[in-house]
Amino acid sequence: MEQTLHAKNFWLDKFTPLACLLFWLPCFLTGQSNAGQAVSRQEEIFRALRNSGYELEDQNKLDSARYFYEKALEIAKTSENQYNLATIYTDLAIISRKDADYVSCEKYHRTALEIAQKTCDREMVEDNTHGIGYLYEIIGDYKNAVSFYIEALSLSQIRGEKEGVIVTLQNISKTYMQLNIRDLALKNIEQAKSLAVEMHNDSIMANVLHDYGEILVHFGENENALEKLQTALKTYEKVGYHRFIASSLVYLGDVYARMGKQDLTLQFFDRALKFQEAMDPYVLADLYFKLGVYEIEKKQKREARTRPNGLSGRAYFEKSLAIAESHKFKDIHLKNATRFYEMANSDGQSGEALKWLQVAADLKSEIYDVEKTKSIAEMHFKYKTAEHERTLQALELKQTRWTLIAAVAIFLIIIGFLGFIAKISARNNRVLETKNREIQHQNTALTESNNVLRQYAYVAAHDLKEPLRTICSFINLLEIKIGRKLDDPQATEYMQFISNAAKRMNVLLTDLLEYSSIFHQKPGADIIDSKLVLDEVCKNLRTLAETKKAEIIYPDVLPKLIINRIHLVQIFQNLVGNALKFTNGRPDDPFGRGRSPVVQIQAKKEGREIVFSVKDNGVGIGEQHREKIFNLFFRAHDVKDFEGTGIGLSICKSLTEKYGGRIWFQSVENQGTTFFFSFPEDILVKENEVENRLSKVA
């Protein structure tokens, strides 16, 4: 997108700042400066400064690039060249976004958009509208992102610019992918593909196919995705774009890794290394890191080396780290620092481990600051939007009030008695409007307060995890460094208490973050097969089930629902996981927990509901806990007997209620428990609904 937002004539008349200044130095010395020459000089200096900023931005030297852009802005303001002003404000918006200064990014885009609208520069209007949409996508405000993308799409269609239409459709489809709306994501990428076919442009077609593949991978359709990605790779090879060939090879390797095909993964990674000189630095740094992980895993498994030309794991990490440090890729830098800490810790090099632990802690803090900036920017933008809407409502209300007064005055002149009645009615209406505004204001304040509290719970839990990780890491280092030297068993026991408490707190905060995120999620609209979801849950819990010799029984056919797949996975995973966990104790346990777990899942339609049941033969729940069992952090059993934080059932309750459903249970102590949860029949997919949806998409 940056290539679109920067001026299209960038490569024309490209000079460095020094060359331009030397070129015009004689004019400054001789004083030959008529009006035309002055304008031309300013234009050349502007281009030189802007090009220098662009080159530095391409090298990720953002502070230096910003300096040259701001100098170019001063020249543009002096010359009052509106096109140059809009262009440089767009450049500043892009670099502010890269530097995570999202508030400034929006300000610059809005300024450029205002100038472009005044000068009727449709292309610049489209570019900045698209840029604002991309900004909202980055901070996670997908609703506003789609809104601006659709506006940019309309502008591209008016201009008859097919390439702009294709790029915007790609962005829209990727945004719907982030929202997990499969139908709309595929519909928009299909439209982009159809237009790319009409253009007969191989590079555009390859780019669309690659995005198509990414979307299919996101929705778990790996086989279909491979077809699109392989075609995109062949097209890149045909065109000869080495940089895109390398990126495509790395991504294909990642897809095969998801599918558990390690040999094919390494084959594509090795092919990608042949293009490392042309490869995007970020992709290359990430590739080296992945190869380092592979070599370390092979060493740990003591497998025979099958890649004689490969480097050691440490060597790959060092290469990845060097690129990350040079280009300031903080996330990759963090991953490498963490690996070096783990290797040093494993080798007993406590001093080296401490050094890398500090580096990792500093990087985590910097990365989290960027994420916090995104959250603050999103809240800021939403507040500005709400404030703008309130201003418009106030103006409309004021206009309505004057219209009403005028109407009452006319009625008073024409018909006295009827006018008197109308005046009383108007006064009553104004009182009612005032009361309605007060109620609306209170509702708005309550909604904003709830949103702030939920955001506070999320941010607080997230912030607490950082010092907690540091405590865990330094306790481990203390145990390594001085644990064996302590003669006092009680001191050793105290250190173990601290370590265990920190681990329990980490699990608790993780569950709290998951619980708080539920309130920001929207109900899904995809057709989900409950049977496939249960298959996935059983696969996730396979290790626990095998350890406890458990049997999980459910029908071959279960209802299809219109629901967010992740929500249904969370409900089943918590309930089936609890059924496995709260069973299978010691063989001599007086509560009978030595039985092998048997979990039975059923679904049936009762009245206007679809009811699921998860039945186990475990320890059961006492009747005294019936009112509290779904409360946040409530535990019916001692943590010494069964691990957990007591948040799983709270998540199940919140998710079922999100769809208008309910959850309850029946239990007999020492014999077992049956949990029931239901959904309204509205989300139950009828027999012909799947075919109807498919025909609409087609």
Q: What is the mean pLDDT of each run of 10 residues along the chain (698 residues)?
A: 37 38 42 56 89 86 89 88 90 87 87 90 89 84 85 86 88 88 91 90 90 90 90 89 89 89 88 88 90 82 56 88 85 88 87 86 73 55 53 61 74 73 77 78 62 54 61 73 66 70 62 58 76 91 87 92 87 89 58 73 92 91 78 62 71 88 88 92 71 44
Strand partners, 666: 674
The two tokens of residue 680 are: 């309204």
b/e for 400-435, b at 16 or more Cβ within 10 A? eeeebeeebeebeeeeeeebeebeeebeeeeeeeee
pTM over 0.85: no
- CB atoms < 10 A from the CB of 334, how many? 19
Q: What pLDDT, on the 0 to 100 scale, is given for residue 389?
A: 53
For residues 574 and 599, the answer to whether their CB atoms sit within 8 Å is no
Q: What pLDDT, on the 0 to 100 scale, is given for residue 472?
A: 72
Helices (H) and strands (E) in the chain, counts: 25, 7
Measured CA to CA, the distance from residue 511 to residue 120 in angstroms comes to 52
For residues 275 and 246, the answer to whether their CB atoms sit within 8 Å is yes
DSSP class of 684? B
Q: What pLDDT, on the 0 to 100 scale, is given for residue 674?
A: 94
Q: What pLDDT, on the 0 to 100 scale, is given for residue 146?
A: 85
Measured CA to CA, the distance from residue 52 to residue 75 in angstroms comes to 14
Measured CA to CA, the distance from residue 112 to residue 107 in angstroms comes to 9
